[in-house]
C-alpha cells in the first residue's frame, strides 16, 4: 500500500525496520513532518518516472523552474520557502501515480492566485489543459459577500464545477488540503481552527465520497487533533496501550485465519489494522459508550486473488466460527456509491475474541483506499481521465449528478448546506417494487426515496407502502425495505413543509425548487390579472407578442418574469403599459372638493347578481384558494356578505365586505380591485372571522352572560378586549368565528335581547 507523502527511500527504510522491530502489520505510519530539505528537480522526475517511464521530463522541469521563480522569496507560516508547499503537493500526487499534467498543475496551483502569473501565461507556456486545471484550483477573489460562509460557499461552488469538467482538479485540491493540514501547527490559532473545521465539514467527506479512504482518514485525524487535542491525546494513549497488550493476540488471529484458508486450498493475505482515532471517537460519541466498551477497535482484512475466492473465504469463516447477528454486509453485490466493494462480517473467532473481517480482492483493496485515484491516469491510451471515470466510476457519476443539483441553489448558504448534506452520510439500501436498488443516507425517509427515484415521483407523492404496509411519508427507512410510492396527478408541487422532513440534499433542493416554481406561478397569475385589468380599464390592446418586444425596457427575460414581478409588487402595471405604449399616461381619479368619485372597479364590485363585465370572478373557499388569500384584518368577512378582493402585490388578495370603510383607501388604485364570490361547500361547514362591539352594563357576571349567549348559539370566541367607557358601562370588542351572515345576525339579536347589553354593532374594518 502506498502512503501519501512517503518517498520510496522512506518506504524502504520502513520495510527494513519492520523486519527487525515487531509492529502491527496494518499499522500505518503517522503523517510525516515536513522534509528537512527541499526536493530537487531530479527527485521529482525520478518519483514520476518510477511509475511512468514515458514521463515528459522537460515539462516537469519547466514547471518546477517556473513555479520556483514565480513564488520567489515568498515564505510560509513555518518560515520555509513557499515553493516547498506546491512541491509537497506534487509529491503526494506522485504517490497516487497521477499523470504529468496533474503533477504540473500541482506545482503551479497557487501561481495565478498568489503571484503575478496569469492564465494566459500558463496556457502559453504549458498548454490550455494545464491552464484549465490551475484556474479550477484558483479561489475567487474580491468576493463582495456578507458572510464568511457565503464566500466559502462560492469558492466551493467554483471548485465543484471545475471538478465536474476535470476530476484531476479534485485530486490536486485534496492533496493541497492534506499538506496544509500536515503543517497546520504553524498557522495562527484562529485560522487553524477554521481550516480544520472546513476540512472536517467538506474536504474529508468529499475524499470519502470519492472512495479515497486513506486520505479521508488522515484528513479527519489531523482535523480532530486540531479541534480537540485533549480527546485526540486520550484516544491515542488508549490505542497505544491496547496495541501493546494485544500484540501477540493479533498475530495469532492472523496466523489462524491464514492457516484455515490454506487448509481449504485458498491463498489469502491477512493483516490486522486498528481503527483511526477520529473513527473511534465518533463511534464513542454516537453510541454514548466508553473506550473499554468498544469491541471492534481492531479489524482484519482478507485479500483474496479473485471474486470467487472472496465468497469461498466467507463460507469458511462462517462455518468455522459463530457469526455475530446483524454484522454481515455484502458490498460486493451492492457496491457503495463511492465504488467501495467488500464483504463485511463479524465472528466470535480464535480465543473467543470478536473478529471483524473485510474480505475483498487486490483491485477492490486499491479502490477502497485510493478511490478514483486508483485509476491509471498516466497511461496514454485511456483517453480523458474524466471520460474514463464517467464510464467506470459510480463515485464520479454521483459527484457530477450532485453538482448539477447543487448548482441550482438560490444562494451561497443554501448551496453550502446542501453540499454538507450530500457529503455526510452512511447508507441504507432500499428497493422499488420492481427490484431497483436505491442507496440513501442513514435516517432517510420515504420522501428522500421518492426523489431518489425521480423528481416527478417526489413532487406528486401522496402516500406509500413499506414492505406492503401503508406508512407515513416521513417514515425512516431500514436496509432491505421495499418501498412503493403512491402518486397523484392532482398534486403537482409538494408541500413546502417537506423540506424540513427531507434528509438528502437532492430532495431538499427539488422541494425548494418546486415550491419556488409554484409561488412564482401564483404571482405570475396574479400579475397577469392586474395587468389585464389595467389594460381593459384604459382600453389599450394587450398581447403577449407586444409585451415580448418590450421586455428589454422592463429588464426581464420573459413574459412570465414580468407578470411574476407585477404580482410581487416589484413592477407596477402602469410600468408595463408604459413599456408597451411609450405615450401612455397613468389616469388619475377626479376629485370634486372633499368628495371622491367612486373608482370604476369599486362600482364593478358593487352588489350585483352577476360579476360586472370585465371583472374577475375568483372562486374562494375560506383560505383554500390557489392564490394567497386572507380576510380583512379588522372585522373579516362571512358568507352572505357581498365581498371584494383587493390585490396587494407580494402578498396576495385580501377579502373585504363591500360595506368596509377601509375600501376608501384603495379608490385611487382601481386595477387592484377584483370581483370575488363565495364558493362554500355547505356539506362541510367551516367558520369565518367577524368582529362585534358589545356595550354592556358594568356589573358582576355580565361578561359571563355575553360569553354564554355566544357559546349557546355555537359561536367561537377567538379574542376579547375590554375598555371602560364610563363607570356604568364596559365596551367589549369580540372577534368571533361564525358559519355565515345568518349565524352572525342570530348571535347579535340574542345579545341585544339581554338586559345587561346596552348596544351591539358589527365592526367592518
pLDDT, tens digit, 9 for 90 and up, residues 188-242:
888 899 899 888 888 888 888 778 888 999 999 999 999 999 989 988 888 888 7
Q: Show Cβ contacts of residue 223 under 8 Å, excluding neighbours closer than 6 positions.
A: 181, 196, 197, 199, 200, 204, 278
Domain boundary, last residue among 647, 679, 711: 679
Residues 41 and 16 in one domain: yes
Distance CA 257, CA 272 (A): 11
**Is residue 580 assigned to a domain?**
no
- Whether residue 659 contacts residue 688, with contact meaning beta carbons closer than 8 Å, is answered with no
Q: Which of 651, 679, 707 is the last residue of a domain?
A: 679
Assign residue 242 the CATH number of its domain. Answer: 3.30.460.10
Same domain, 660 and 692: no
149 with 256, same domain: the answer is no
Tell me the C-alpha distance between 137 and 112, whole Å: 9
Half-sphere exposure of residue 279: CA atoms within 13 angstroms, side-chain side:
19
In a domain, 54, yes or no: yes
C-alpha cell at 499: 423540506
Answer for the pair 177, 5: CB distance below 8 angstroms, yes or no.
Answer: no
CATH of the domain at 741: 3.30.70.260
Amino acid 355: pLDDT: 82
Residue 555 domain-assigned (yes or no): no
Give residue for cell 413574459.
Answer: 559
pTM (predicted TM-score): 0.55
Summarize pLDDT for 389-438 with one digit per residue, the tens. Answer: 555 566 666 666 666 655 555 555 556 655 655 555 556 778 888 878 78
Q: Identify the three-state secondary structure at position 115.
A: coil
CA torsion, ordered 446, 450, 453, 456, to nearest 10 deg = 180
For residue 610, tell me if it sits in a domain: yes
Residues spanned by the domain of 699? 688-763
Range picked from 15-29, 132-146, 388-402, 557-571 for highest mean pLDDT: 557-571
Are 114 and 85 in the same domain? Answer: yes
Q: Where are the alpha helices (DSSP H) in 228-324?
A: 229-245, 247-263, 277-287, 307-320
Average pLDDT over residues 436-447: 84
Q: Are 732 and 758 in contact (CB under 8 A)?
A: no
Tally of CB atoms within 10 A around 672: 20
**Whether residue 360 sits in one domain with residue 282:** yes
pLDDT digits (tens, 9 = 90+) for 458-502: 999 999 999 889 999 999 998 778 899 999 888 878 888 898 899
| pLDDT, tens digit (0-9, with 9 covering 90-100), for 735-748 | 999 998 899 999 99
Last residue of a domain, one of 169, 191, 226: 226
Q: Are residues 129 and 20 part of one domain? A: yes
Secondary structure, 3-state, 709-721: HHHHCCCEEEEEE
- Phi and psi of 306, rounded to 5°? -155, 175
Nearest to 110 by CA among 86, 144, 141: 86
Are the C-beta atoms of 47 and 6 separated by less than 8 Å? Answer: no
Domain for residue 470, yes or no?
no
- The set of catalytic residues is 113-114
* Residue 637 DSSP SS3: coil
Nearest to 610 by CA among 535, 675, 658: 675
Question: Could you tell me if 197 and 316 lie in one domain?
Answer: no
One domain, residues 239 and 312: yes
* CA gap 596, 598 in Å, rounded: 6
Residues whose CB falls within 8 Å of the CB of residue 382, separated by 6 or more in sequence, listed in order: 375, 376, 388
DSSP annotation string for 394-439: HHHHHHHHHHHHHTT-SSHHHHHHHHHHHHS--EEEEE-TT--EEE
Domain assignment present for 566: no
pLDDT bracket for residue 147 (50, 70, 90): low
Contact by Cβ (8 Å): 455, 512: no
Helices (H), ranges, 321-382 = 362-370
pLDDT digits (tens, 9 = 90+) for 633-692: 888 888 888 888 887 776 778 888 888 888 888 877 776 777 777 877 777 788 888 999
Say whether 579 sits in a helix, a strand or coil.
Answer: helix
744 is a domain residue? yes
Going from the C-alpha of 490 to that of each of 67, 459, 460, 461, the distances in angstroms are: 62, 11, 8, 10
The stretches of 51-147 forming alpha helices (DSSP H) are 57-71, 84-95, 100-108, 111-114, 119-126, 128-136
Pairing of strands 618-620, 673-678: parallel
Kind of pairing between the strands at 427-431 and 437-441? antiparallel
Our count of domains for the chain comes to 4
Both 25 and 173 in one domain: the answer is yes
Cα–Cα distance measured from residue 673 to residue 34, given in angstroms and rounded to the nearest whole number: 74
19 and 73 share one domain: yes
CB atoms within 10 A of CB 12: 11
Cell of 592: 370634486
Question: Which of 533, 492, 477, 502 has its CA nearest to residue 649?
Answer: 533
Judgement on whether residues 199 and 259 belong to the same structural domain of the protein: no
Q: Please, is 386 exposed, middle or buried when counting C-beta atoms within 10 Å of its C-beta (0-12, 13-18, 19+)? A: middle
Phi, psi of 489 (to 5 degrees): -65, -20
Q: Which of 193, 192, 199, 186 is nearest to 76 (CA)?
A: 186
> Radius of gyration over alpha carbons of the chain, in Å?
36
Residues 136, 12 share a domain: yes
Q: Is 182 domain-assigned?
A: yes
Mean pLDDT score, 495-511: 85
pLDDT-based confidence at 56, cuts 50/70/90?
A: very high
Q: Is 296 exposed, middle or buried (0-12, 13-18, 19+ CB in 10 A)?
A: middle
Amino acid at each position: 500500500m502506498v502512503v501519501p507523502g512517503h518517498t520510496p527511500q522512506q518506504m524502504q527504510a520502513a520495510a527494513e525496520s519492520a523486519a527487525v522491530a515487531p509492529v502491527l502489520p496494518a499499522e500505518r505510519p503517522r503523517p510525516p513532518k515536513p522534509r528537512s530539505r527541499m526536493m530537487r528537480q531530479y527527485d521529482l522526475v525520478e518519483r514520476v518516472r518510477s511509475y511512468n517511464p514515458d514521463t515528459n521530463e522537460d515539462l516537469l522541469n519547466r514547471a518546477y523552474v517556473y513555479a520556483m521563480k514565480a513564488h520567489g522569496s515568498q515564505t510560509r507560516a513555518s518560515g520555509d520557502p513557499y515553493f516547498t508547499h506546491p512541491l509537497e503537493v506534487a509529491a503526494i500526487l506522485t504517490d497516487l501515480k497521477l499523470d504529468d499534467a496533474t503533477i504540473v498543475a500541482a506545482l503551479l496551483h497557487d501561481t495565478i492566485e498568489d503571484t503575478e502569473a496569469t492564465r494566459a501565461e500558463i496556457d502559453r507556456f504549458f498548454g490550455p489543459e494545464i491552464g484549465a486545471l490551475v484556474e479550477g484550483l484558483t479561489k475567487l477573489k474580491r468576493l463582495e459577500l456578507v458572510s464568511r460562509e457565503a464566500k466559502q460557499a462560492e469558492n466551493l461552488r467554483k471548485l465543484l464545477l471545475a471538478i465536474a469538467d476535470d476530476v484531476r482538479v479534485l485530486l490536486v485540491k485534496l492533496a493541497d488540503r492534506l499538506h496544509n493540514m500536515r503543517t497546520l501547527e504553524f498557522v495562527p490559532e484562529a485560522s487553524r481552527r477554521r481550516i480544520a473545521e472546513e476540512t472536517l465539514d467538506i474536504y474529508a467527506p468529499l475524499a470519502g465520497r470519492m472512495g479515497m479512504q486513506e486520505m479521508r482518514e488522515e484528513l479527519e485525524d489531523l482535523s480532530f487533533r486540531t479541534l480537540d487535542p485533549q480527546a485526540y491525546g486520550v484516544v491515542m494513549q488508549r490505542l497505544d496501550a491496547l496495541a501493546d497488550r494485544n500484540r501477540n493476540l493479533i498475530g495469532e488471529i492472523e496466523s489462524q485465519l491464514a492457516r484455515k484458508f490454506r487448509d481449504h486450498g485458498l491463498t489469502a493475505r491477512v493483516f490486522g489494522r486498528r481503527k483511526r482515532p477520529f473513527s473511534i471517537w465518533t463511534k464513542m460519541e454516537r453510541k454514548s459508550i466508553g473506550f473499554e466498551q468498544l469491541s471492534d477497535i481492531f479489524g482484519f482484512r482478507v485479500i483474496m486473488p479473485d471474486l470467487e475466492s472472496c465468497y469461498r473465504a466467507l463460507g469458511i469463516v462462517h462455518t468455522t466460527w459463530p457469526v455475530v447477528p446483524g454484522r454481515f454486509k455484502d458490498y460486493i453485490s451492492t457496491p457503495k456509491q463511492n465504488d467501495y466493494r467488500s464483504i463485511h462480517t463479524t465472528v466470535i473467532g480464535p480465543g473467543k475474541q470478536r473478529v471483524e473481517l473485510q474480505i475483498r480482492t487486490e483491485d477492490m483493496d486499491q479502490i477502497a483506499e485510493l478511490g478514483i485515484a486508483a485509476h491509471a491516469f498516466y497511461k496514454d491510451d485511456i483517453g480523458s481521465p474524466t471520460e474514463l471515470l464517467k464510464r467506470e466510476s459510480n463515485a464520479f457519476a454521483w459527484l457530477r449528478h450532485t453538482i448539477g443539483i447543487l448548482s441550482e441553489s438560490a444562494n451561497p448558504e443554501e448551496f453550502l448546506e446542501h453540499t454538507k448534506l450530500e457529503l455526510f452520510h452512511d447508507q441504507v439500501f432500499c428497493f422499488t417494487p420492481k427490484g431497483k436498488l436505491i442507496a440513501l443516507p442513514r435516517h432517510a425517509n420515504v420522501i428522500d426515496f421518492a426523489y431518489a427515484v425521480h423528481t416527478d415521483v417526489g413532487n406528486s407523492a401522496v402516500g406509500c407502502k413499506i414492505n406492503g404496509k401503508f406508512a407515513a411519508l416521513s417514515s425512516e427507512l431500514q436496509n432491505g425495505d421495499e418501498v412503493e410510492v403512491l402518486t397523484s396527478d392532482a398534486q403537482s408541487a409538494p408541500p413546502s413543509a417537506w423540506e424540513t422532513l427531507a434528509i438528502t440534499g437532492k430532495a431538499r433542493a427539488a422541494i425548494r425548487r418546486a415550491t419556488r416554481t409554484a409561488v412564482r406561478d401564483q404571482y405570475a397569475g396574479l400579475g397577469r390579472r392586474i395587468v389585464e385589468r389595467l389594460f381593459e380599464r384604459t382600453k389599450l390592446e394587450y398581447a403577449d407578442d407586444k409585451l415580448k418586444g418590450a421586455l428589454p425596457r422592463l429588464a426581464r427575460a420573459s413574459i412570465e418574469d414580468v407578470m411574476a414581478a407585477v404580482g410581487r409588487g416589484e413592477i407596477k402595471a402602469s410600468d408595463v403599459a408604459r413599456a408597451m405604449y411609450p405615450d401612455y399616461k397613468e389616469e388619475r381619479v377626479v376629485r370634486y372638493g372633499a368628495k371622491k368619485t367612486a373608482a370604476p372597479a369599486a362600482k364593478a364590485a358593487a352588489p350585483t347578481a352577476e360579476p360586472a363585465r370585465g371583472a374577475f370572478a375568483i372562486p374562494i373557499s375560506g383560505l383554500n384558494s390557489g392564490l394567497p388569500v386572507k380576510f380583512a384584518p379588522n372585522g373579516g368577512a362571512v358568507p352572505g356578505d357581498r365581498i371584494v378582493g383587493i390585490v396587494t402585490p407580494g402578498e396576495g388578495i385580501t377579502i373585504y365586505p363591500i360595506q368596509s370603510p377601509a375600501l376608501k383607501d384603495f379608490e385611487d388604485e382601481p386595477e387592484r380591485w377584483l370581483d370575488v364570490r363565495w364558493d362554500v361547500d355547505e356539506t362541510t361547514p367551516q367558520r369565518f372571522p367577524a368582529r362585534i362591539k358589545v356595550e354592556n352594563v358594568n356589573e358582576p357576571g355580565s361578561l359571563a352572560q355575553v360569553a354564554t349567549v355566544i357559546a349557546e348559539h355555537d359561536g367561537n370566541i377567538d379574542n376579547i378586549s375590554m375598555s371602560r367607557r364610563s363607570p356604568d358601562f364596559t365596551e367589549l370588542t369580540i372577534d368571533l368565528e361564525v358559519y355565515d351572515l345568518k349565524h352572525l345576525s342570530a348571535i347579535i339579536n340574542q345579545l341585544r335581547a339581554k338586559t345587561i347589553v346596552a348596544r351591539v354593532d358589527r365592526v367592518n374594518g
